[in-house]
Homo-oligomer: A and B are copies of this chain.
Protein backbone atom coordinates (compact mmCIF):
# COMPACT_ATOMS: atom_id res chain seq x y z
CA UNK A 1 0.00 0.00 0.00
CA UNK A 2 2.55 2.53 1.18
CA UNK A 3 4.18 3.73 -1.99
CA UNK A 4 5.13 7.33 -1.37
CA UNK A 5 8.78 8.07 -1.73
CA UNK A 6 9.09 10.87 0.79
CA UNK A 7 10.86 10.10 3.98
CA UNK A 8 9.32 11.10 7.30
CA UNK A 9 6.51 13.04 5.67
CA UNK A 10 5.15 16.11 7.35
CA UNK A 11 2.76 15.42 10.18
CA UNK A 12 -0.85 15.02 9.14
CA UNK A 13 -4.06 15.93 10.79
CA UNK A 14 -4.19 12.46 12.27
CA UNK A 15 -1.04 12.81 14.34
CA UNK A 16 -2.26 16.11 15.65
CA UNK A 17 -5.59 14.58 16.55
CA UNK A 18 -3.96 11.74 18.42
CA UNK A 19 -1.54 13.96 20.24
CA UNK A 20 -4.19 16.49 21.20
CA UNK A 21 -6.74 13.82 22.10
CA UNK A 22 -9.37 15.06 19.76
CA UNK A 23 -10.85 13.89 16.49
CA UNK A 24 -9.49 14.84 13.12
CA UNK A 25 -12.60 16.90 12.54
CA UNK A 26 -11.67 19.06 15.48
CA UNK A 27 -8.20 19.59 14.17
CA UNK A 28 -9.65 20.58 10.84
CA UNK A 29 -11.98 23.01 12.55
CA UNK A 30 -9.13 24.52 14.47
CA UNK A 31 -7.79 25.73 11.17
CA UNK A 32 -10.98 26.42 9.27
CA UNK A 33 -13.65 27.39 11.75
CA UNK A 34 -11.85 28.18 14.98
CA UNK A 35 -14.94 29.98 16.33
CA UNK A 36 -16.64 26.65 16.68
CA UNK A 37 -14.15 25.31 19.16
CA UNK A 38 -13.88 25.65 22.87
CA UNK A 39 -11.08 28.09 23.53
CA UNK A 40 -9.21 25.50 25.51
CA UNK A 41 -9.43 22.82 22.85
CA UNK A 42 -8.43 25.29 20.21
CA UNK A 43 -5.40 26.27 22.19
CA UNK A 44 -4.36 22.70 22.75
CA UNK A 45 -4.75 21.74 19.13
CA UNK A 46 -2.91 24.79 17.90
CA UNK A 47 -0.12 24.18 20.33
CA UNK A 48 0.32 20.58 19.34
CA UNK A 49 0.16 21.57 15.70
CA UNK A 50 2.85 24.16 16.09
CA UNK A 51 4.92 21.75 18.08
CA UNK A 52 4.84 19.12 15.38
CA UNK A 53 5.29 21.69 12.67
CA UNK A 54 1.95 20.82 11.19
CA UNK A 55 0.71 22.59 8.10
CA UNK A 56 -2.43 21.51 6.30
CA UNK A 57 -1.76 19.56 3.14
CA UNK A 58 -3.33 21.65 0.43
CA UNK A 59 -3.58 18.74 -1.95
CA UNK A 60 -5.84 16.85 0.41
CA UNK A 61 -7.84 19.96 1.05
CA UNK A 62 -8.15 20.74 -2.64
CA UNK A 63 -9.38 17.30 -3.47
CA UNK A 64 -11.97 17.40 -0.78
CA UNK A 65 -13.10 20.97 -1.34
CA UNK A 66 -13.04 20.74 -5.08
CA UNK A 67 -11.07 23.96 -5.19
CA UNK A 68 -7.34 24.48 -5.28
CA UNK A 69 -7.16 28.15 -4.38
CA UNK A 70 -4.89 28.42 -7.35
CA UNK A 71 -5.25 30.30 -10.55
CA UNK A 72 -3.51 29.46 -13.76
CA UNK A 73 -1.71 32.08 -15.80
CA UNK A 74 -0.80 31.42 -19.39
CA UNK A 75 1.36 33.86 -21.32
CA UNK A 76 3.83 33.96 -24.21
CA UNK A 77 6.98 34.80 -22.32
CA UNK A 78 8.04 36.63 -19.21
CA UNK A 79 11.05 37.87 -21.11
CA UNK A 80 8.85 40.58 -22.57
CA UNK A 81 8.46 43.13 -19.78
CA UNK A 82 4.92 43.86 -20.78
CA UNK A 83 3.83 40.37 -19.81
CA UNK A 84 6.09 40.30 -16.81
CA UNK A 85 4.44 43.44 -15.50
CA UNK A 86 0.99 42.09 -16.14
CA UNK A 87 1.92 38.93 -14.34
CA UNK A 88 3.31 40.91 -11.45
CA UNK A 89 0.05 42.80 -11.11
CA UNK A 90 -1.96 39.62 -11.09
CA UNK A 91 0.42 37.77 -8.82
CA UNK A 92 0.49 40.42 -6.14
CA UNK A 93 -3.27 40.58 -6.04
CA UNK A 94 -3.72 36.84 -5.95
CA UNK A 95 -1.15 36.28 -3.24
CA UNK A 96 -2.70 39.01 -1.18
CA UNK A 97 -5.97 37.23 -0.90
CA UNK A 98 -4.49 33.82 -0.45
CA UNK A 99 -4.49 32.41 -3.93
CA UNK A 100 -1.50 30.74 -5.48
CA UNK A 101 -0.42 30.90 -9.08
CA UNK A 102 0.55 28.27 -11.54
CA UNK A 103 2.19 29.63 -14.68
CA UNK A 104 2.88 28.28 -18.08
CA UNK A 105 4.69 30.07 -20.87
CA UNK A 106 4.01 29.34 -24.50
CA UNK A 107 6.74 31.25 -26.28
CA UNK A 108 4.13 32.39 -28.79
CA UNK A 109 3.63 28.80 -29.84
CA UNK A 110 0.22 27.46 -30.68
CA UNK A 111 0.77 23.80 -29.96
CA UNK A 112 2.27 24.52 -26.62
CA UNK A 113 -0.49 26.92 -25.83
CA UNK A 114 -3.11 24.24 -25.97
CA UNK A 115 -1.07 21.68 -24.16
CA UNK A 116 -0.15 24.03 -21.38
CA UNK A 117 -3.72 25.07 -21.04
CA UNK A 118 -4.75 21.47 -20.61
CA UNK A 119 -2.13 20.89 -17.98
CA UNK A 120 -3.31 23.90 -16.05
CA UNK A 121 -6.84 22.61 -16.24
CA UNK A 122 -5.75 19.13 -15.19
CA UNK A 123 -4.25 20.65 -12.09
CA UNK A 124 -7.74 21.90 -11.34
CA UNK A 125 -6.92 25.57 -11.20
CA UNK A 126 -9.95 27.51 -10.06
CA UNK A 127 -9.64 30.08 -12.81
CA UNK A 128 -7.43 31.23 -15.63
CA UNK A 129 -5.83 34.42 -16.89
CA UNK A 130 -4.88 33.90 -20.49
CA UNK A 131 -2.67 35.94 -22.74
CA UNK A 132 -2.90 34.12 -25.99
CA UNK A 133 -0.97 34.72 -29.14
CA UNK A 134 -4.06 34.72 -31.17
CA UNK A 135 -7.20 34.35 -29.15
CA UNK A 136 -9.57 33.56 -31.95
CA UNK A 137 -8.91 29.97 -32.94
CA UNK A 138 -8.16 28.69 -29.48
CA UNK A 139 -11.10 30.31 -27.86
CA UNK A 140 -13.56 28.74 -30.19
CA UNK A 141 -11.96 25.34 -30.41
CA UNK A 142 -11.31 24.38 -26.95
CA UNK A 143 -11.86 26.82 -24.20
CA UNK A 144 -15.52 27.38 -24.58
CA UNK A 145 -16.16 23.70 -24.40
CA UNK A 146 -14.14 22.47 -21.49
CA UNK A 147 -13.66 25.73 -19.70
CA UNK A 148 -17.36 26.04 -19.23
CA UNK A 149 -16.47 24.72 -15.84
CA UNK A 150 -13.38 26.83 -15.28
CA UNK A 151 -13.82 30.57 -15.48
CA UNK A 152 -11.23 32.47 -17.41
CA UNK A 153 -10.42 35.96 -18.52
CA UNK A 154 -8.21 37.14 -21.34
CA UNK A 155 -5.52 39.74 -20.96
CA UNK A 156 -4.58 41.88 -23.94
CA UNK A 157 -7.30 40.46 -26.11
CA UNK A 158 -10.71 41.58 -27.10
CA UNK A 159 -13.20 39.01 -28.28
CA UNK A 160 -16.92 39.53 -28.40
CA UNK A 161 -18.65 37.65 -25.62
CA UNK A 162 -15.50 36.66 -23.80
CA UNK A 163 -14.32 38.36 -20.62
CA UNK A 164 -11.13 40.26 -21.20
CA UNK A 165 -9.03 43.16 -20.00
CA UNK A 166 -7.19 45.21 -22.55
CA UNK A 167 -6.62 48.59 -24.06
CA UNK A 168 -8.34 49.36 -27.33
CA UNK A 169 -5.47 48.53 -29.63
CA UNK A 170 -7.26 49.70 -32.72
CA UNK A 171 -7.91 53.15 -31.37
CA UNK A 172 -4.54 53.39 -29.69
CA UNK A 173 -2.84 52.64 -32.94
CA UNK A 174 -4.83 55.33 -34.67
CA UNK A 175 -3.83 57.80 -32.01
CA UNK A 176 -0.22 56.98 -32.56
CA UNK A 177 -0.57 57.38 -36.30
CA UNK A 178 -2.30 60.70 -35.73
CA UNK A 179 0.63 61.80 -33.67
CA UNK A 180 2.96 60.96 -36.54
CA UNK A 181 0.67 62.82 -38.89
CA UNK A 182 0.74 65.84 -36.62
CA UNK A 183 4.50 65.83 -36.97
CA UNK A 184 3.99 65.86 -40.72
CA UNK A 185 4.89 62.26 -41.29
CA UNK A 186 3.06 60.79 -44.23
CA UNK A 187 5.21 57.82 -45.07
CA UNK A 188 4.82 55.16 -42.44
CA UNK A 189 5.83 51.55 -42.24
CA UNK A 190 4.36 49.05 -39.82
CA UNK A 191 6.73 46.48 -38.43
CA UNK A 192 5.79 43.40 -36.42
CA UNK A 193 6.32 39.69 -35.92
CA UNK A 194 4.12 37.14 -37.65
CA UNK A 195 0.53 38.29 -37.33
CA UNK A 196 -0.90 34.83 -36.90
CA UNK A 197 0.85 34.62 -33.54
CA UNK A 198 -0.43 37.90 -32.26
CA UNK A 199 -3.82 39.37 -32.81
CA UNK A 200 -2.64 42.40 -30.87
CA UNK A 201 -0.18 43.20 -33.62
CA UNK A 202 -2.91 42.59 -36.18
CA UNK A 203 -5.28 45.04 -34.54
CA UNK A 204 -2.55 47.62 -34.30
CA UNK A 205 -1.74 47.30 -37.96
CA UNK A 206 -5.40 47.73 -38.78
CA UNK A 207 -5.56 50.86 -36.68
CA UNK A 208 -2.55 52.39 -38.37
CA UNK A 209 -3.95 51.65 -41.79
CA UNK A 210 -7.36 52.99 -40.90
CA UNK A 211 -5.81 56.23 -39.80
CA UNK A 212 -3.59 56.51 -42.86
CA UNK A 213 -6.52 55.89 -45.13
CA UNK A 214 -8.70 58.37 -43.34
CA UNK A 215 -6.03 61.04 -43.70
CA UNK A 216 -5.43 60.18 -47.32
CA UNK A 217 -1.86 58.97 -46.86
CA UNK A 218 -0.07 56.33 -48.84
CA UNK A 219 -0.94 52.78 -47.86
CA UNK A 220 1.09 51.58 -44.90
CA UNK A 221 3.42 48.73 -45.85
CA UNK A 222 3.72 45.88 -43.38
CA UNK A 223 7.12 44.40 -42.69
CA UNK A 224 7.24 41.06 -40.92
CA UNK A 225 10.12 40.15 -38.66
CA UNK A 226 10.84 36.55 -37.75
CA UNK A 227 9.86 37.04 -34.12
CA UNK A 228 7.94 39.41 -31.90
CA UNK A 229 10.88 40.29 -29.75
CA UNK A 230 13.77 41.15 -32.02
CA UNK A 231 14.41 42.59 -35.46
CA UNK A 232 16.38 40.84 -38.14
CA UNK A 233 19.23 43.23 -39.04
CA UNK A 234 19.33 42.12 -42.67
CA UNK A 235 15.65 42.76 -43.17
CA UNK A 236 15.92 46.10 -41.44
CA UNK A 237 18.76 47.15 -43.68
CA UNK A 238 16.80 46.15 -46.74
CA UNK A 239 13.76 47.98 -45.46
CA UNK A 240 15.65 51.18 -44.95
CA UNK A 241 17.21 50.96 -48.35
CA UNK A 242 13.86 50.51 -49.96
CA UNK A 243 12.03 53.17 -47.98
CA UNK A 244 14.67 55.82 -47.77
CA UNK A 245 14.82 58.21 -44.84
CA UNK A 246 13.16 60.16 -43.52
CA UNK A 247 10.64 57.55 -42.68
CA UNK A 248 8.51 56.67 -39.68
CA UNK A 249 8.40 53.10 -38.45
CA UNK A 250 5.58 51.99 -36.20
CA UNK A 251 6.58 48.86 -34.34
CA UNK A 252 3.96 46.53 -32.96
CA UNK A 253 5.73 46.48 -29.62
CA UNK A 254 8.54 48.19 -27.76
CA UNK A 255 10.94 45.29 -27.88
CA UNK A 256 10.92 45.44 -31.65
CA UNK A 257 11.25 49.21 -31.53
CA UNK A 258 14.27 49.11 -29.25
CA UNK A 259 15.84 46.44 -31.36
CA UNK A 260 15.18 48.49 -34.47
CA UNK A 261 16.78 51.54 -32.93
CA UNK A 262 19.81 49.57 -31.95
CA UNK A 263 20.19 48.35 -35.53
CA UNK A 264 19.69 51.83 -36.94
CA UNK A 265 22.53 53.07 -34.83
CA UNK A 266 24.81 50.41 -36.18
CA UNK A 267 23.79 51.51 -39.68
CA UNK A 268 24.70 55.04 -38.71
CA UNK A 269 21.18 56.26 -39.10
CA UNK A 270 20.16 58.92 -36.67
CA UNK A 271 17.03 58.71 -34.59
CA UNK A 272 14.78 60.56 -35.04
CA UNK A 273 16.26 62.69 -37.82
CA UNK A 274 16.68 59.87 -40.32
CA UNK A 275 14.30 57.33 -38.90
CA UNK A 276 11.40 58.07 -36.60
CA UNK A 277 10.43 55.14 -34.45
CA UNK A 278 7.53 54.45 -32.18
CA UNK A 279 6.34 51.42 -30.33
CA UNK A 280 3.61 49.88 -28.27
CA UNK A 281 3.40 48.85 -24.62
CA UNK A 282 5.34 51.52 -22.83
CA UNK A 283 7.76 49.20 -21.09
CA UNK A 284 10.09 50.72 -18.56
CA UNK A 285 13.35 50.39 -20.49
CA UNK A 286 11.87 52.28 -23.42
CA UNK A 287 11.26 55.38 -21.35
CA UNK A 288 14.81 55.32 -20.04
CA UNK A 289 16.34 55.26 -23.48
CA UNK A 290 18.21 58.04 -25.15
CA UNK A 291 16.13 59.32 -26.76
CA UNK A 292 13.16 57.97 -24.86
CA UNK A 293 10.96 55.79 -27.01
CA UNK A 294 7.69 57.31 -28.14
CA UNK A 295 5.09 54.67 -27.45
CA UNK A 296 1.54 53.75 -26.59
CA UNK A 297 1.64 53.09 -22.88
CA UNK A 298 -0.48 50.27 -21.55
CA UNK A 299 -1.08 50.08 -17.81
CA UNK A 300 0.24 46.54 -17.71
CA UNK A 301 0.44 46.04 -14.00
CA UNK A 302 -3.09 47.33 -13.79
CA UNK A 303 -4.23 45.03 -16.56
CA UNK A 304 -2.92 42.07 -14.62
CA UNK A 305 -4.35 43.43 -11.42
CA UNK A 306 -7.79 44.00 -12.88
CA UNK A 307 -7.91 40.66 -14.66
CA UNK A 308 -7.03 38.92 -11.44
CA UNK A 309 -9.46 40.91 -9.38
CA UNK A 310 -12.31 40.26 -11.76
CA UNK A 311 -11.52 36.59 -11.83
CA UNK A 312 -11.30 36.30 -8.09
CA UNK A 313 -14.38 38.41 -7.49
CA UNK A 314 -16.13 35.94 -9.68
CA UNK A 315 -14.69 32.96 -7.87
CA UNK A 316 -15.19 34.18 -4.36
CA UNK A 317 -18.24 36.40 -4.61
CA UNK A 318 -19.77 35.15 -7.80
CA UNK A 319 -19.58 38.53 -9.47
CA UNK A 320 -20.32 38.41 -13.14
CA UNK A 321 -17.17 38.10 -15.18
CA UNK A 322 -17.21 41.15 -17.42
CA UNK A 323 -14.75 42.72 -19.81
CA UNK A 324 -12.88 45.93 -19.21
CA UNK A 325 -11.19 48.29 -21.60
CA UNK A 326 -8.53 50.26 -19.83
CA UNK A 327 -7.23 53.58 -21.07
CA UNK A 328 -3.96 53.85 -22.93
CA UNK A 329 -1.91 56.96 -23.25
CA UNK A 330 0.69 58.17 -25.69
CA UNK A 331 4.11 58.81 -24.31
CA UNK A 332 5.90 61.36 -26.43
CA UNK A 333 9.52 60.48 -26.13
CA UNK A 334 12.12 61.74 -28.52
CA UNK A 335 12.10 59.18 -31.25
CA UNK A 336 9.80 60.98 -33.62
CA UNK A 337 11.06 64.06 -35.42
CA UNK A 338 9.09 66.98 -36.76
CA UNK A 339 9.17 67.17 -40.51
CA UNK A 340 8.60 70.35 -42.50
CA UNK A 341 4.97 70.69 -43.49
CA UNK A 342 4.27 69.11 -46.84
CA UNK A 343 1.88 70.14 -49.56
CA UNK A 344 -1.59 68.75 -49.25
CA UNK A 345 -2.43 65.41 -50.76
CA UNK A 346 -3.54 65.83 -54.37
CA UNK A 347 -1.17 68.70 -55.00
CA UNK A 348 0.91 68.28 -58.13
CA UNK A 349 4.22 66.48 -57.64
Which residues of A are in contact with B by a Cβ distance under 8 Å? 3-10, 53, 55-60, 62-63, 65-68, 70, 77-79, 81, 84-85, 87-88, 91-92, 95, 100-105, 107, 112, 116, 118-124, 145-146, 148-149, 258-259, 261-262, 265, 284-285, 288-290
Q: Pick from A6, A78, A88 the residue with the most CB of B within 10 Å.
A: A78
Counted per complex, copies of this chain come to 2
Chain B nearest CB, measured from A308 CB (Å): 13
Give the chain B neighbours of A261 by CB distance below 8 A: 288, 290
- In angstroms, Cα B88 to Cα A20, docked, is 45
Chain B nearest CB, measured from A109 CB (Å): 11
Complex: chain B residue closest to A112, CB-CB = B95
CB-based contact B102/A70 at 8 Å:
yes
CB-based contact B146/A10 at 8 Å:
yes
Complex: chain B residue closest to A262, CB-CB = B288
CB-based contact A10/B57 at 8 Å:
no
CB-based contact B101/A103 at 8 Å:
yes
CB-based contact A55/B85 at 8 Å:
no
Give the chain B neighbours of A10 by CB distance below 8 A: 146, 149
Give the chain B neighbours of A92 by CB distance below 8 A: 105, 107
Cβ-defined partner of A265 (8 Å) among B68, B91, B118, B290? B290
Chain B nearest CB, measured from A276 CB (Å): 16
Give the chain B neighbours of A120 by CB distance below 8 A: 100
CB-based contact B95/A87 at 8 Å:
no
- In angstroms, Cα B99 to Cα A122, docked, is 12
Give the chain B neighbours of A288 by CB distance below 8 A: 258-259, 261-262
CB-based contact B103/A103 at 8 Å:
yes
Give the chain B neighbours of A112 by CB distance below 8 A: 95
Cβ-defined partner of A123 (8 Å) among B65, B70, B258, B289? B70
CB-based contact A59/B55 at 8 Å:
no
Q: A8-B149, A149-B6 are in contact. Are A100 and B119 (CB under 8 A)?
A: yes
CB-based contact A53/B146 at 8 Å:
yes
CB-based contact B8/A59 at 8 Å:
no
Chain B nearest CB, measured from A257 CB (Å): 10
CB-based contact A123/B290 at 8 Å:
no
Q: Pick from A53, A68, A149, A285 the residue with the most CB of B within 10 Å.
A: A285
Q: Pick from A77, A116, A145 the residue with the most CB of B within 10 Å.
A: A77
Q: 23 A-B contacts, Cβ less than 8 Å apart?
A: A3-B65, A9-B66, A9-B149, A56-B122, A57-B122, A58-B124, A59-B68, A70-B123, A78-B78, A78-B87, A78-B91, A79-B81, A79-B284, A91-B105, A92-B105, A92-B107, A95-B112, A100-B119, A101-B102, A101-B103, A102-B103, A258-B288, A259-B288
